[in-house]
Structure 1
């Protein structure tokens, strides 16, 4: 049995377990991971993700906003391919434009609505990319099950029909693999090659947040986002 260094993140460890990684050599050195380029291979056409607005879309997202945003609330997922994960409790990344909205409401359900989870995320006025991990007390995602997730920008304390909604689709899959390293970028590259977008991006984002001046990590972040049409968002700050 290999003992994983305690400095590895819970996200990293949980993804290793979910993917059933079989190591063929000892832990890779951290310096080696910095040289790994990551690319995303879309799995299939999938279901399109979309944005919706209750009623007629206003110039501003909220009545108290001073102007309309250049980029709307956007989950960082591909538009035209399935959004896949191996995780029972995946991590989502979403861009927030400048807004006076008080809350961001995350919802997750399956088509039959036998699964339903919702959580309110309090906003502090910051603009940038935030991450949201499905809490451990939420029901785990089932393998080969499709889910609909959404982010609703609540201008007031509760959701109203006119609030902006971004919605998308996600599916949990399984992978079993033998790889020769378990550093973050090696694992992110493996996910990218297999079309597992959410897990790939969560790992790159984590590396980018902790090592913002690392050129290879920054290039990987920009490359994968540009590959799915999110080049504008790639320049936005990652918030802790």
Structure 2
């Protein structure tokens, strides 16, 4: 067993993830939009070598939690607080119109210093990986794919993962979650309707079309700029609930994510 752990530890990704890809049907139409992703709090991701395909034989469904319990050294963390959670729908497809979407992860209070984000294609080909410094936890971390990464292919499902590195010397102790994302297109008239709408109207239009990630991104911006608006907080809870995500997540967004 020790030899197995040593072998796994020396893999470039340093972690064995459970990633079962679920193919969801695409929706045909013409061009994507990126206008709503100008999020000032977005973490700047450093480019790194893509991760290798996952090898964990355990099975689990796409999206949501995988191994979200606290790190071994954080056993005294409040059990009533939400656990590590990927804000990715588990009851519906995770669609986006963006070439390089934004991902949100709730990170509970932890003594771990770093986490790792990675994105893989349907064929388990590594697309992007970066290390994220963990500060001010608990917090809601947002990550947007940088311009150096290739745009998501329309109709292609991708798996993303976020792992808290509990022990840098033994990556088998990582606590991680995964999510699914798939880019689709809208026709120009429908896209123009969204672009000309107010942010609150954009959320409603995205939700009506099941464009989960884009609705979530706009709501996140609204929560940061209008924290005391009860209608936004209600829309936030309803969106998470509609996707099967833990509705307890309503973290204090006054905390700035690390840049």
User: Could you state the TM-score of these two structures normalised by the residue count of structure 2?
Assistant: 0.67
Matched, 1:67 2:67: no
Structure 2 partner of 1:199: 214
User: How much has 1:159 moved relative to structure 2?
Assistant: 6.7
- Residue 57 of structure 2 aligns with which residue? none
Distance 1:229 1:237, change over 3 A: farther
What is the DSSP-based 3-state SS (H/G/I as helix, E as strand, rest coil) of the residue aligned with 2:235?
A: helix
Partner of 1:235: 250
Aligned pair partner of 1:213 in 228, 250, 259: 228
**Which structure has the highest strand share of the two?**
1
Bigger Cα displacement from structure 2, 78-87 vs 149-158: 149-158
The 2-side partners of 1:145 and 1:65 are apart by: 39
Distance 1:92 1:168, change over 3 A: same
Equivalence map 1:110-125=2 (5 Å): 110-125=121-136
Change (3 A) 1:115 1:142: farther
* Length, aligned pairs only: 195
Q: Which of 172, 179, 184 lines up with 2:193 in the alignment?
A: 179
Q: TM-score, normalised by structure 1?
A: 0.72
Match in the other structure for 1:85: 96
Q: CA offsets, 1:96-137, max 9 Å, x none?
A: 111111112110011224452101110114212121111111
Q: Is the 8 A contact 2:106 2:140 kept in 1?
A: yes
> Who is 2:62 aligned against?
48
> Does the 8 Å CA contact 1:104/1:123 hold for their aligned counterparts?
yes
RMSD: 2.5
Q: What are structure 1's unaligned runs of at least 5 residues?
A: 1-16, 22-46
Give matches, 1:11-160, under 5 Å.
Answer: 18-19=32-33, 48-53=62-67, 60-67=70-77, 69=79, 70-157=81-168, 160=171
How far apart are the structure 1 equivalents of 2:74 and 2:231?
A: 40
Q: What is the SS of the residue equivalent to 1:213?
A: coil
1:135-192 Cα deviation digits (max 9, x unpaired): 1112211111111100001124477012111012111111121527332111121111
Unaligned runs of 5+ in 2: 1-30, 36-60
In 2, Cα distance between the equivalents of 1:236 and 1:97? 10
Contact kept in structure 2, 1:61 and 1:68, CA below 8 Å: no
